[in-house]
Structure 1
Amino acid sequence: MTPSTASCTSTTATATTLLVIAKEPAPGRVKTRLTPPFTPRQAAALAAAALADTLSAVAAVPAARRVLVLDGRPGPWLPPGFEVLPQCGGGLDERLAAAFAACTGPALLLGMDTPQVSPAVLAPALAWDVYDAWFGPATDGGFWALGLAEPDPALLRGVPMSQPCTGAAQYERLRAAGLRIGRLPELCDVDTAEDALRVAAEAPAGRFAMLHAELVPTTGACS
């Protein structure tokens, strides 16, 4: 999509599809870099809390659709009002591309690893009158959010994922397509015990932070 295409229309937040891509928080399948100091069961519980916080933030902002793109089965952490779509096979770039392909209008996608996200952080990315894309960089060099006014799976396919250059490569893909890009705040993904400590401190009232506070004394994790 060219900038001139998007400038012809102004899209309201309520026309946006909000996508959350996630894994079922099952022990041994998620947050394996948290073990040690956390056990696989504790790491899965932290993942479930992070996902619940993320879904709560998404549920609190206006949207046309709210979709959980899930690898696995839904659990009690899923609030009402979400469609659940299974993730496709392939690499992460293919799975993200397929998530956008399921949208017919503006879409904002985020993962389950930033429980500190809030409705206030998401709010700017629900407006499409100035920007064609929204990009949320992560502190590890990746990205935690990506929004497209006109979802095009080709903008994601082939981008190297889970590498220090991932965010830069994805941003360059958007820029090379001639899109006007709005930037969201940089957030820290929860991958390691140090990340978990930092994120819990940033959002102390969330489920993730409260569970983290309960688990740290039992694990000897840094505090």
Structure 2
Amino acid sequence: MNPRPEPACPPTLLVIAKEPLPGRVKTRLTPPYTPEEAALLAEAALTDTLHTLLHVPARRRLLVLHGTPGPWLPPGYEVLPQADGGLDERLAAAFGHCDGGPALLVGMDTPQLTPDLLADVGRDGHDAWFGPAADGGFWALGFADPSLAGALVRGVPMSTDRTGSVQRRRLVEAGLSVGDLPPLRDVDTAADAASVVSRCPSGSRFAAALTALAETVR
């Protein structure tokens, strides 16, 4: 088979996120952090992610949000509400906003993400892209044809230690060639935050927020 030619346009980039409100995000960071501090770290991680994707060529940039945008949202994004239902339904619906060309979705939990990690998405001839997470989930999922996403995402058990393996197996069993992205660690716990911070790029808001909280006398 001849390799697929490079797409005529760069991918649509999607971020799926919750509004960073105390008590509603990153609840596994409490303790040791307060709900307000956990929300501060969530906002920093989300802001880092959104700004990182501004440096990745994209046809469109979509923030699929549960909640209301705040001052943390940079220009350059279309904001769309998340669908109802479980996470699998919400992910599938997010891809439904794509109107052609390759699409890649990432979460708000990996502030160590850098543009170079996504450099090959949409241009390497794969049918799908998969970024595994250290906890057994995944931090990125993409399709050369996003219309395939609904059937391949709905029904995947989410938030388990086998979510990633089930999702990737579905891609392979559907006959798709999968481009594997580097594994990253989601920030869900204080241990995750401490592990990730050293890998954040220069100027990271998440790293600055975590350092500031570490210097606070509890």
Q: Are 2:30 and 1:35 aligned?
A: yes
Q: How does 1:3-14 map to 2 (within 5 A)?
A: 7=3, 9-12=5-8, 14=9
Q: Are 2:130 and 1:132 aligned?
A: no
Q: How does 1:1-223 map to 2 (within 5 A)?
A: 7=3, 9-12=5-8, 14-105=9-100, 106-127=102-123, 129-151=124-146, 152=148, 153-203=150-200, 205=202, 206-218=204-216
CA shift in 2, pair 1:219/1:104, >3 Å: farther
Give the residue type in structure 2 aligned to 1:99. Answer: A
Give the residue type in structure 2 aligned to 1:88. Answer: A
Cα RMSD of the aligned pairs, angstroms, is 1.5
Q: Distance in 2 between matches of 1:100 and 1:87?
A: 11
Distance apart, 1:8 and its partner CA:
5.0
Deviations 1:42-62 (A, max 9, x none): 000000000000001111111
Q: Distance in 1 between matches of 2:170 and 2:47?
A: 31
More helix by share: 1
Q: Distance in 2 between matches of 1:124 and 1:78?
A: 26
Aligned residue for 2:208, secondary structure, equals: helix
User: Does the 8 A contact of 2:45 with 2:110 survive in 1?
Assistant: yes
Distance apart, 1:219 and its partner CA:
6.3
Aligned residue for 1:96, secondary structure, equals: helix
The number of aligned residues is 214
Q: Distance in 1 between matches of 2:179 and 2:159?
A: 22
User: Does the 8 A contact of 1:71 with 1:87 survive in 2?
Assistant: yes
User: Does the 8 A contact of 1:37 with 1:219 survive in 2?
Assistant: no
Give the residue type in structure 2 aligned to 1:123. Answer: A
Query: Could you tell me the percent identity over the aligned residues?
Result: 62
Distance apart, 1:125 and its partner CA:
1.6
- Alignment TM-score, normalising by the size of structure 1: 0.92
Structure 1 residue runs without a partner (length 5+): none
Q: Distance in 2 between matches of 1:204 and 1:37?
A: 25
Deviations 1:139-196 (A, max 9, x none): 0000000010001211100000000000000000100100000000000000000000
Distance apart, 1:131 and its partner CA:
0.4
Distance apart, 1:9 and its partner CA:
4.2
- Alignment TM-score, normalising by the size of structure 2: 0.94
Structure 1 residue runs of 4 or more that deviate by more than 4 Å after TM superposition: 6-9
Q: Distance in 2 between matches of 1:163 and 1:140?
A: 8
Q: Distance in 2 between matches of 1:198 and 1:15?
A: 32
Structure 2 residue runs without a partner (length 5+): none
